[in-house]
Structure 1
């Protein structure tokens, strides 16, 4: 079993015993999402730690979007609950890259694609640059941020 999934299960037990309802609720939802991912498809399988991190990142994104939606609807108490659950999930995710680190990775990928092509890549090669950047970033930055950084580099 993936170490991260085991850690989630152990932390859920601790949170339940300590009666930490927000933490327990967030971990339950995360473990449910992991289990659903394991049994999706034609055959059940066990997720690796990297796959569990992807599931957790997806769940964190859902919490962030839900908090924004609740704020927009004037439901501050529900938005705060979503933010608390997001904070719990973020403790299990890798540290997010800051803008300078992301720009550095984009620059390296841009140079690698330029070397492959023999010319400076343009907007048509965004997919190639994104593929190289995503391999390096691996869940440490939101896809929208990555795409914006790549697009800015290609159009400059």
Structure 2
């Protein structure tokens, strides 16, 4: 991926964002973590981290965390450090749809247990968020409609 790919997807794509990371949470099989780069004001961006229940990606059921405004270069650095991948190796998940149709067969009680653990023990995903520079902060936001 290139910086121009990020900019093009954000400004010309139908969702005004680009998903650059998506994986199942280790130990919590029912939660998928996705990182999006989104526009935020004049020439600023934000990283949005969405924790969706499996099979419900982009349905508005997830927990959403968003950074304060940052430059595109800061967003790239944060995602590179978090994912362990340089920008050139990133996958455009907005295009590929990685894990969107993943399903999982679990007992209802196990799903409830994992959901409760995610909310109470992991505070809606807070320990799984990328590290941020001192001048940037995380906030929980309602899912954008």
TM-score higher than 0.5: no
Relative to the length of structure 1, the TM-score reads: 0.21
Relative to the length of structure 2, the TM-score reads: 0.22
Which structure has the greater CA radius of gyration?
1
Larger helix share, 1 or 2 = 1
Select the structure with the greater relative contact order (CA < 8 A; seq sep ≥ 6): 2
